[in-house]
Structure 1
Amino acid sequence: MPVVTTPLIKDLFAVIEERKAVRQYDANATISKEELRAILTAATKAPSAWNLQPWHFLVIHGKETQRRLQPIAYGQQQIVDASAVVVVLGDLEANRNTDAVYDPLVREGAMTEEVKRQLAEQIETAYANKQYARDAAFQNAAFAAMQLMLAATAKGWATCPIGGFNPERLKEEFHIPNRYVPTLLITIGKAAAPAHHSIRLPIEAVSTWVEQ
Protein backbone atom coordinates (compact mmCIF):
# COMPACT_ATOMS: atom_id res chain seq x y z
CA MET A 1 0.00 0.00 0.00
CA PRO A 2 1.47 3.41 -0.94
CA VAL A 3 2.41 5.64 1.98
CA VAL A 4 1.09 9.22 2.00
CA THR A 5 3.89 11.36 3.37
CA THR A 6 3.39 14.20 5.81
CA PRO A 7 4.77 16.91 3.45
CA LEU A 8 2.04 16.12 0.89
CA ILE A 9 -0.63 16.41 3.56
CA LYS A 10 0.85 19.71 4.74
CA ASP A 11 0.92 21.02 1.18
CA LEU A 12 -2.77 20.28 0.71
CA PHE A 13 -3.73 21.91 3.99
CA ALA A 14 -1.59 24.93 3.16
CA VAL A 15 -3.49 25.41 -0.10
CA ILE A 16 -6.82 25.12 1.72
CA GLU A 17 -5.72 27.70 4.27
CA GLU A 18 -4.36 30.03 1.58
CA ARG A 19 -7.48 30.06 -0.60
CA LYS A 20 -9.48 33.23 0.04
CA ALA A 21 -12.12 35.10 -1.95
CA VAL A 22 -10.11 37.91 -3.54
CA ARG A 23 -12.14 40.74 -5.09
CA GLN A 24 -9.40 43.18 -6.16
CA TYR A 25 -7.09 42.15 -8.99
CA ASP A 26 -4.12 43.51 -10.88
CA ALA A 27 -5.82 44.50 -14.14
CA ASN A 28 -2.50 44.23 -16.02
CA ALA A 29 -1.80 40.62 -15.05
CA THR A 30 -2.44 38.04 -17.75
CA ILE A 31 -2.96 34.31 -17.65
CA SER A 32 -2.18 32.01 -20.56
CA LYS A 33 -4.57 29.54 -22.14
CA GLU A 34 -2.14 26.79 -21.16
CA GLU A 35 -2.32 27.78 -17.49
CA LEU A 36 -6.11 27.95 -17.63
CA ARG A 37 -6.26 24.54 -19.31
CA ALA A 38 -4.11 23.05 -16.53
CA ILE A 39 -6.42 24.50 -13.86
CA LEU A 40 -9.54 23.31 -15.66
CA THR A 41 -8.04 19.86 -16.14
CA ALA A 42 -7.49 19.62 -12.38
CA ALA A 43 -11.10 20.67 -11.84
CA THR A 44 -12.33 17.79 -14.00
CA LYS A 45 -10.76 15.34 -11.55
CA ALA A 46 -13.57 16.17 -9.11
CA PRO A 47 -16.01 13.37 -8.25
CA SER A 48 -19.47 13.18 -9.80
CA ALA A 49 -22.51 10.92 -9.68
CA TRP A 50 -21.92 7.88 -11.92
CA ASN A 51 -18.79 9.73 -13.10
CA LEU A 52 -20.98 11.55 -15.64
CA GLN A 53 -19.01 14.77 -15.10
CA PRO A 54 -22.07 17.04 -15.41
CA TRP A 55 -20.22 20.31 -15.79
CA HIS A 56 -19.05 22.58 -18.58
CA PHE A 57 -16.69 25.56 -18.33
CA LEU A 58 -17.35 28.75 -20.26
CA VAL A 59 -14.00 30.57 -20.17
CA ILE A 60 -14.24 34.35 -20.47
CA HIS A 61 -10.68 35.29 -21.40
CA GLY A 62 -9.96 38.78 -22.72
CA LYS A 63 -10.93 42.26 -21.58
CA GLU A 64 -13.45 42.89 -24.36
CA THR A 65 -15.34 39.71 -23.55
CA GLN A 66 -15.06 40.37 -19.82
CA ARG A 67 -16.64 43.78 -20.35
CA ARG A 68 -19.60 42.02 -21.98
CA LEU A 69 -19.95 39.94 -18.83
CA GLN A 70 -19.63 42.83 -16.35
CA PRO A 71 -23.20 44.22 -16.57
CA ILE A 72 -24.57 40.68 -16.30
CA ALA A 73 -22.67 40.42 -12.99
CA TYR A 74 -24.23 43.69 -11.82
CA GLY A 75 -21.22 45.84 -12.67
CA GLN A 76 -18.68 44.15 -10.40
CA GLN A 77 -15.24 45.57 -11.16
CA GLN A 78 -13.47 42.29 -10.48
CA ILE A 79 -15.03 40.87 -13.64
CA VAL A 80 -12.90 43.11 -15.87
CA ASP A 81 -9.85 43.41 -13.62
CA ALA A 82 -9.39 39.64 -13.27
CA SER A 83 -7.20 37.82 -15.76
CA ALA A 84 -10.08 35.51 -16.69
CA VAL A 85 -13.53 34.49 -15.53
CA VAL A 86 -14.79 30.92 -15.62
CA VAL A 87 -18.54 30.34 -15.79
CA VAL A 88 -19.27 26.96 -14.22
CA LEU A 89 -22.25 25.38 -15.95
CA GLY A 90 -24.19 22.39 -14.69
CA ASP A 91 -25.25 19.79 -17.25
CA LEU A 92 -28.98 19.02 -17.09
CA GLU A 93 -28.56 16.23 -19.65
CA ALA A 94 -25.47 14.51 -18.32
CA ASN A 95 -27.12 11.16 -19.08
CA ARG A 96 -26.00 11.84 -22.67
CA ASN A 97 -22.41 11.30 -21.44
CA THR A 98 -23.04 7.65 -20.53
CA ASP A 99 -21.49 6.08 -23.63
CA ALA A 100 -18.49 8.43 -23.64
CA VAL A 101 -17.76 7.60 -19.99
CA TYR A 102 -18.37 3.84 -20.02
CA ASP A 103 -17.56 2.60 -23.52
CA PRO A 104 -13.78 3.02 -23.04
CA LEU A 105 -14.02 0.97 -19.84
CA VAL A 106 -15.86 -1.80 -21.68
CA ARG A 107 -13.24 -1.81 -24.45
CA GLU A 108 -10.46 -2.02 -21.86
CA GLY A 109 -12.13 -4.91 -20.09
CA ALA A 110 -12.59 -2.88 -16.91
CA MET A 111 -16.39 -3.11 -17.18
CA THR A 112 -18.73 -5.65 -18.75
CA GLU A 113 -21.48 -4.77 -21.19
CA GLU A 114 -24.00 -6.05 -18.64
CA VAL A 115 -22.74 -3.72 -15.91
CA LYS A 116 -22.80 -0.80 -18.35
CA ARG A 117 -26.38 -1.66 -19.30
CA GLN A 118 -27.44 -1.74 -15.64
CA LEU A 119 -25.78 1.60 -14.92
CA ALA A 120 -27.28 3.16 -18.05
CA GLU A 121 -30.75 2.08 -16.91
CA GLN A 122 -30.19 3.64 -13.49
CA ILE A 123 -28.97 6.86 -15.09
CA GLU A 124 -31.89 7.15 -17.50
CA THR A 125 -34.38 6.54 -14.69
CA ALA A 126 -32.76 9.23 -12.55
CA TYR A 127 -32.55 11.81 -15.34
CA ALA A 128 -36.20 11.30 -16.27
CA ASN A 129 -36.81 13.24 -13.05
CA LYS A 130 -36.18 16.89 -13.97
CA GLN A 131 -35.74 17.92 -10.34
CA TYR A 132 -33.03 15.31 -9.87
CA ALA A 133 -31.29 16.48 -13.04
CA ARG A 134 -31.24 20.09 -11.80
CA ASP A 135 -30.11 19.16 -8.29
CA ALA A 136 -27.35 16.95 -9.69
CA ALA A 137 -26.20 19.69 -12.06
CA PHE A 138 -25.70 22.17 -9.21
CA GLN A 139 -24.27 19.64 -6.75
CA ASN A 140 -21.70 18.14 -9.07
CA ALA A 141 -20.73 21.46 -10.66
CA ALA A 142 -19.99 22.68 -7.13
CA PHE A 143 -17.45 19.87 -6.69
CA ALA A 144 -15.66 20.96 -9.85
CA ALA A 145 -15.84 24.64 -8.88
CA MET A 146 -14.20 24.05 -5.52
CA GLN A 147 -11.49 21.91 -7.07
CA LEU A 148 -10.89 24.62 -9.69
CA MET A 149 -10.31 27.24 -7.00
CA LEU A 150 -7.93 25.01 -5.05
CA ALA A 151 -5.98 24.19 -8.21
CA ALA A 152 -5.71 27.89 -9.07
CA THR A 153 -4.53 28.66 -5.54
CA ALA A 154 -1.89 25.93 -5.75
CA LYS A 155 -0.57 27.58 -8.92
CA GLY A 156 -0.34 31.00 -7.28
CA TRP A 157 -3.56 32.55 -8.61
CA ALA A 158 -6.29 34.24 -6.59
CA THR A 159 -9.95 33.42 -7.15
CA CYS A 160 -13.42 34.51 -6.08
CA PRO A 161 -16.69 32.59 -6.45
CA ILE A 162 -19.54 34.84 -7.56
CA GLY A 163 -23.21 33.98 -7.24
CA GLY A 164 -24.42 37.50 -8.03
CA PHE A 165 -25.27 37.50 -11.73
CA ASN A 166 -28.30 37.29 -14.01
CA PRO A 167 -28.38 33.72 -15.39
CA GLU A 168 -30.91 34.41 -18.12
CA ARG A 169 -28.95 37.39 -19.47
CA LEU A 170 -25.80 35.30 -19.29
CA LYS A 171 -27.35 32.52 -21.36
CA GLU A 172 -28.65 35.01 -23.90
CA GLU A 173 -25.42 37.01 -24.25
CA PHE A 174 -23.15 34.00 -24.63
CA HIS A 175 -25.60 31.70 -26.44
CA ILE A 176 -25.56 28.99 -23.78
CA PRO A 177 -27.72 25.99 -24.78
CA ASN A 178 -30.66 25.03 -22.57
CA ARG A 179 -28.81 21.82 -21.73
CA TYR A 180 -26.70 23.85 -19.30
CA VAL A 181 -27.59 25.88 -16.22
CA PRO A 182 -25.22 28.61 -14.96
CA THR A 183 -24.24 27.87 -11.36
CA LEU A 184 -21.32 30.15 -10.54
CA LEU A 185 -18.77 32.62 -11.86
CA ILE A 186 -15.15 32.32 -10.73
CA THR A 187 -12.71 35.16 -11.25
CA ILE A 188 -9.02 34.22 -11.60
CA GLY A 189 -6.13 36.65 -11.39
CA LYS A 190 -3.33 38.18 -9.36
CA ALA A 191 -4.44 39.83 -6.13
CA ALA A 192 -4.06 43.60 -5.94
CA ALA A 193 -5.20 43.68 -2.30
CA PRO A 194 -5.64 41.05 0.40
CA ALA A 195 -8.94 39.27 0.79
CA HIS A 196 -11.31 40.61 3.41
CA HIS A 197 -10.71 39.19 6.87
CA SER A 198 -13.23 36.48 7.70
CA ILE A 199 -13.84 33.92 10.41
CA ARG A 200 -15.11 30.38 10.39
CA LEU A 201 -17.61 29.00 12.87
CA PRO A 202 -16.11 26.58 15.41
CA ILE A 203 -16.31 22.95 14.41
CA GLU A 204 -18.61 22.33 17.40
CA ALA A 205 -21.20 24.64 15.81
CA VAL A 206 -21.21 22.91 12.43
CA SER A 207 -20.86 19.24 13.29
CA THR A 208 -22.82 16.58 15.10
CA TRP A 209 -21.07 13.38 16.12
CA VAL A 210 -22.86 10.05 16.38
CA GLU A 211 -20.67 7.55 18.19
CA GLN A 212 -21.11 4.27 19.98
Structure 2
Amino acid sequence: MEPAFFDVIRERHSVRYYDPTVTISEAELKQMLEEAALAPSSSNLQPWRFLVITDPAEKERLKPIAYGQQQVVDASAVIAVLGDLDSYQNTERIYSSAVEMGYMNEETKNRMVPRNIETYKNLPIEAARGVVLVDGGLVSMQLMLVAKAHGYDTVPMGGYDSVKFKDAFHVPERYVPVMLIAIGKAAREAHPTYRLPIDEITVWNRYE
Protein backbone atom coordinates (compact mmCIF):
# COMPACT_ATOMS: atom_id res chain seq x y z
CA MET A 1 0.00 0.00 0.00
CA GLU A 2 1.35 3.41 -0.95
CA PRO A 3 1.79 5.88 1.92
CA ALA A 4 -0.71 8.69 2.26
CA PHE A 5 0.40 12.09 0.99
CA PHE A 6 0.28 13.75 4.40
CA ASP A 7 2.32 10.94 5.93
CA VAL A 8 4.99 11.54 3.30
CA ILE A 9 5.28 15.28 3.88
CA ARG A 10 5.31 14.89 7.67
CA GLU A 11 7.80 12.03 7.73
CA ARG A 12 10.29 13.48 5.26
CA HIS A 13 13.33 14.82 7.09
CA SER A 14 16.84 15.62 5.95
CA VAL A 15 18.99 12.55 6.69
CA ARG A 16 22.78 12.81 6.84
CA TYR A 17 23.69 9.27 7.91
CA TYR A 18 23.09 6.46 5.42
CA ASP A 19 23.46 2.70 5.31
CA PRO A 20 26.29 2.18 2.79
CA THR A 21 25.20 -1.41 2.11
CA VAL A 22 21.88 -0.37 0.55
CA THR A 23 21.67 -0.04 -3.22
CA ILE A 24 18.83 1.31 -5.35
CA SER A 25 18.37 -0.20 -8.77
CA GLU A 26 18.78 1.93 -11.86
CA ALA A 27 15.19 1.07 -12.78
CA GLU A 28 13.82 2.40 -9.50
CA LEU A 29 15.97 5.54 -9.64
CA LYS A 30 14.68 6.15 -13.16
CA GLN A 31 11.10 5.66 -11.98
CA MET A 32 11.58 8.19 -9.18
CA LEU A 33 13.06 10.70 -11.60
CA GLU A 34 10.12 10.21 -13.98
CA GLU A 35 7.71 10.88 -11.12
CA ALA A 36 9.70 13.91 -9.97
CA ALA A 37 9.72 15.30 -13.51
CA LEU A 38 5.94 15.69 -13.35
CA ALA A 39 6.70 18.92 -11.47
CA PRO A 40 5.65 22.23 -13.06
CA SER A 41 8.09 24.46 -14.92
CA SER A 42 8.12 27.82 -16.65
CA SER A 43 6.28 27.46 -19.99
CA ASN A 44 6.58 23.69 -19.48
CA LEU A 45 10.15 23.80 -20.79
CA GLN A 46 11.30 21.29 -18.13
CA PRO A 47 14.85 22.68 -17.88
CA TRP A 48 15.96 20.19 -15.24
CA ARG A 49 18.69 17.71 -16.02
CA PHE A 50 19.92 14.96 -13.68
CA LEU A 51 23.42 13.61 -13.19
CA VAL A 52 22.99 10.42 -11.14
CA ILE A 53 26.14 9.36 -9.31
CA THR A 54 26.16 5.76 -8.06
CA ASP A 55 29.69 4.55 -8.82
CA PRO A 56 31.73 4.35 -5.57
CA ALA A 57 34.80 5.87 -7.22
CA GLU A 58 32.80 8.80 -8.55
CA LYS A 59 31.23 9.36 -5.12
CA GLU A 60 34.72 9.43 -3.64
CA ARG A 61 35.66 11.99 -6.29
CA LEU A 62 32.68 14.08 -5.23
CA LYS A 63 33.33 13.92 -1.48
CA PRO A 64 36.08 16.59 -1.25
CA ILE A 65 34.13 18.80 -3.66
CA ALA A 66 31.22 18.51 -1.19
CA TYR A 67 33.54 19.57 1.64
CA GLY A 68 33.93 16.08 3.01
CA GLN A 69 30.27 15.33 3.68
CA GLN A 70 30.14 11.60 4.38
CA GLN A 71 26.61 11.12 3.03
CA VAL A 72 28.01 11.65 -0.45
CA VAL A 73 29.84 8.33 -0.14
CA ASP A 74 27.42 6.37 2.05
CA ALA A 75 24.14 7.19 0.29
CA SER A 76 22.97 4.85 -2.44
CA ALA A 77 23.13 7.66 -4.98
CA VAL A 78 23.76 11.36 -5.26
CA ILE A 79 21.62 13.15 -7.79
CA ALA A 80 22.94 16.43 -9.11
CA VAL A 81 20.02 18.58 -10.23
CA LEU A 82 21.04 20.91 -13.06
CA GLY A 83 19.22 23.62 -14.98
CA ASP A 84 19.58 23.89 -18.75
CA LEU A 85 19.93 27.50 -19.88
CA ASP A 86 19.17 26.40 -23.45
CA SER A 87 16.01 24.45 -22.66
CA TYR A 88 14.01 26.79 -24.92
CA GLN A 89 15.49 24.81 -27.82
CA ASN A 90 13.03 22.03 -26.92
CA THR A 91 9.99 24.29 -27.27
CA GLU A 92 8.91 23.01 -30.69
CA ARG A 93 9.29 19.38 -29.65
CA ILE A 94 7.39 19.80 -26.38
CA TYR A 95 4.51 21.78 -27.85
CA SER A 96 4.21 19.62 -30.96
CA SER A 97 4.03 16.53 -28.75
CA ALA A 98 1.31 18.23 -26.71
CA VAL A 99 -0.69 18.75 -29.91
CA GLU A 100 -0.22 15.12 -30.97
CA MET A 101 -1.44 13.94 -27.56
CA GLY A 102 -4.49 16.20 -27.65
CA TYR A 103 -3.33 18.47 -24.84
CA MET A 104 -3.11 21.58 -27.02
CA ASN A 105 -4.51 22.73 -30.35
CA GLU A 106 -2.37 23.65 -33.33
CA GLU A 107 -3.35 27.31 -33.23
CA THR A 108 -2.18 27.70 -29.65
CA LYS A 109 1.07 25.92 -30.41
CA ASN A 110 1.79 28.11 -33.44
CA ARG A 111 1.20 31.21 -31.35
CA MET A 112 3.23 30.17 -28.33
CA VAL A 113 6.29 28.48 -29.84
CA PRO A 114 7.87 31.50 -31.57
CA ARG A 115 6.95 33.77 -28.68
CA ASN A 116 8.53 31.50 -26.09
CA ILE A 117 11.67 30.90 -28.10
CA GLU A 118 12.15 34.63 -28.60
CA THR A 119 11.51 35.38 -24.93
CA TYR A 120 13.80 32.75 -23.39
CA LYS A 121 16.53 33.08 -25.99
CA ASN A 122 16.92 36.77 -25.20
CA LEU A 123 16.67 36.67 -21.42
CA PRO A 124 19.58 38.31 -19.60
CA ILE A 125 21.81 35.61 -18.14
CA GLU A 126 20.82 36.31 -14.54
CA ALA A 127 17.13 36.16 -15.42
CA ALA A 128 17.67 32.87 -17.27
CA ARG A 129 19.56 31.48 -14.28
CA GLY A 130 16.72 32.56 -12.03
CA VAL A 131 14.20 30.65 -14.14
CA VAL A 132 16.13 27.37 -14.09
CA LEU A 133 16.93 27.71 -10.39
CA VAL A 134 13.25 28.11 -9.54
CA ASP A 135 12.25 25.20 -11.76
CA GLY A 136 15.14 23.15 -10.42
CA GLY A 137 13.93 23.81 -6.89
CA LEU A 138 10.44 22.61 -7.80
CA VAL A 139 11.66 19.32 -9.26
CA SER A 140 14.10 18.83 -6.37
CA MET A 141 11.39 19.08 -3.73
CA GLN A 142 9.19 16.75 -5.73
CA LEU A 143 12.05 14.26 -6.00
CA MET A 144 12.57 14.26 -2.24
CA LEU A 145 8.87 13.60 -1.63
CA VAL A 146 8.82 10.90 -4.29
CA ALA A 147 11.84 9.24 -2.68
CA LYS A 148 10.12 9.22 0.71
CA ALA A 149 7.03 7.66 -0.86
CA HIS A 150 9.32 4.92 -2.19
CA GLY A 151 10.68 4.33 1.30
CA TYR A 152 13.98 6.21 0.94
CA ASP A 153 15.50 9.17 2.71
CA THR A 154 17.17 12.23 1.23
CA VAL A 155 19.07 15.37 2.05
CA PRO A 156 19.43 18.42 -0.23
CA MET A 157 22.95 19.83 -0.34
CA GLY A 158 24.01 23.30 -1.35
CA GLY A 159 27.35 22.94 0.41
CA TYR A 160 29.68 22.05 -2.43
CA ASP A 161 32.01 23.82 -4.83
CA SER A 162 29.90 24.14 -7.97
CA VAL A 163 32.85 25.26 -10.12
CA LYS A 164 34.97 22.25 -9.14
CA PHE A 165 31.93 20.01 -9.51
CA LYS A 166 31.31 21.09 -13.09
CA ASP A 167 34.97 20.61 -13.93
CA ALA A 168 35.36 17.20 -12.25
CA PHE A 169 32.20 15.75 -13.79
CA HIS A 170 32.53 17.43 -17.20
CA VAL A 171 29.22 19.28 -16.87
CA PRO A 172 28.54 21.38 -20.00
CA GLU A 173 28.60 25.15 -19.54
CA ARG A 174 24.92 25.50 -20.39
CA TYR A 175 23.94 23.60 -17.22
CA VAL A 176 23.57 25.50 -13.94
CA PRO A 177 24.05 23.42 -10.76
CA VAL A 178 20.94 23.69 -8.57
CA MET A 179 21.72 21.28 -5.74
CA LEU A 180 22.94 17.81 -4.87
CA ILE A 181 20.48 15.33 -3.36
CA ALA A 182 21.73 12.29 -1.49
CA ILE A 183 19.27 9.38 -1.48
CA GLY A 184 19.31 6.07 0.37
CA LYS A 185 18.26 4.36 3.60
CA ALA A 186 18.85 6.15 6.87
CA ALA A 187 21.44 4.56 9.17
CA ARG A 188 20.39 6.92 11.92
CA GLU A 189 16.93 8.38 12.38
CA ALA A 190 16.69 12.07 11.50
CA HIS A 191 15.83 14.37 14.36
CA PRO A 192 12.65 16.44 14.18
CA THR A 193 13.06 20.13 13.42
CA TYR A 194 11.25 23.21 14.69
CA ARG A 195 9.03 25.17 12.32
CA LEU A 196 8.08 28.80 12.80
CA PRO A 197 4.38 29.41 13.49
CA ILE A 198 2.54 30.01 10.23
CA ASP A 199 1.09 33.27 11.53
CA GLU A 200 4.61 34.67 11.87
CA ILE A 201 5.52 33.97 8.26
CA THR A 202 2.25 34.74 6.50
CA VAL A 203 0.76 38.08 5.45
CA TRP A 204 -2.69 38.30 3.90
CA ASN A 205 -3.26 40.40 0.78
CA ARG A 206 -0.40 42.91 1.19
CA TYR A 207 2.23 44.30 3.51
CA GLU A 208 1.06 47.48 5.19
Same fold (TM over 0.5): yes
Counterpart position of 1:158: 153
2: CA distance between counterparts of 1:187 and 1:172? 20
Matched, 1:141 2:122: no
Instruction: Name the Cα RMSD after superposition.
Output: 1.8
Name whichever of 56-65 and 98-107 sits farther off: 98-107
SS of 2:4 mapped into structure 1: helix
TM-score (norm 1): 0.90
Please state how far the C-alpha of 1:197 moved relative to its aligned partner: 3.1
Counterpart-to-counterpart distance in 2, 1:134 and 1:122: 19
State the TM-score, normalized to the length of structure 2: 0.92
Query: Structure 2: which amino acid aligns with 1:136?
Result: V
Give runs of ≥4 in structure 1 deviating > 4 Å: none
1:78 equivalent to 2:65? Answer: no
- Number of residue equivalences: 204
Tell me if the contact between 1:55 and 1:137 (Cα under 8 Å) persists in the aligned partners.
yes
Q: Aligned-pair distance for 1:108? A: 4.2
Unaligned runs of 5+ in 2: none
Pick aligned residue for 2:100 from 94, 107, 110 = 107
Q: Which residue of 1 aligns with 2:165?
A: 170
Partners of 1:126 and 1:132 within 8 A in 2: no
Q: Amino acid of the residue matched to residue 186 of structure 1? A: I
Percent of residue pairs bearing the same amino acid type: 47
Is the 1:92–1:180 contact (alpha carbons within 8 Å) kept by the matching residues of 2?
A: yes
Contact 2:36 2:142 in 1 (8 A): yes
Structure 1 gaps, min length 5? 1-7
Amino acid at match of 2:90: N
CA separation in 2, counterparts of 1:113 and 1:80? Answer: 49
Q: Residue type of the partner of 2:179? A: L
- Give the counterpart letter for 1:171 in structure 2: K
Q: Which residue pairs with 1:181 in the alignment? A: 176
> Quick check: 1:22 aligned with 2:22?
no
For residues 192-212 of structure 1, what are the alpha-carbon distances to aligned partners after superposition, in whole Å with 9 as ceiling and x for unaligned?
11113310100001111239x
